[in-house]
Amino acid sequence: MAFTCPRCGRTSHNPNDEREGYCGACHDWTGDQQPGTNRQWRTVVKNMTKAIAHLEQENNALRAENDRLRWALGKGLTESEAADYLAKEGD
């Protein structure tokens, strides 16, 4: 049985290579189910990038809210008055 690597095109006659999806020539996993494949890592990175973007949006919203609260407190309002003022402002 021969296995041709879809990445580098080399052919292996080792019966384990096709079953395991590993190419001894380019030293990479070529099967979709193997842990550590490039496809799986790209998916992990893509998901983490989305999560980071979401956290950055939340962080920016919290910073803006904090800035508004500091401004209201700087005007001499109590915390509850400032919160009420900002809640009315948001309506």
pLDDT value of residue 16: 78
Distance CA 26, CA 2 (A): 16
- Nearest CA-CA partner of 4 in 40, 42, 30: 30
**Which sequence spans correspond to the domains of the chain?**
1-34, 35-91
Residue 77 φ/ψ, nearest 5 degrees: -80, 150
pLDDT value of residue 31: 65
pLDDT value of residue 49: 94
- The mean per-residue pLDDT over the stretch 78-83 comes to 84
pLDDT value of residue 90: 67
The pair of structure tokens assigned to 31 is 């099967």
pLDDT in tens, 9-66: 888 888 877 777 778 888 877 765 555 566 777 788 889 999 999 999 999 999 998 9
Query: Does the pTM of the predicted model rise above 0.75?
Result: no
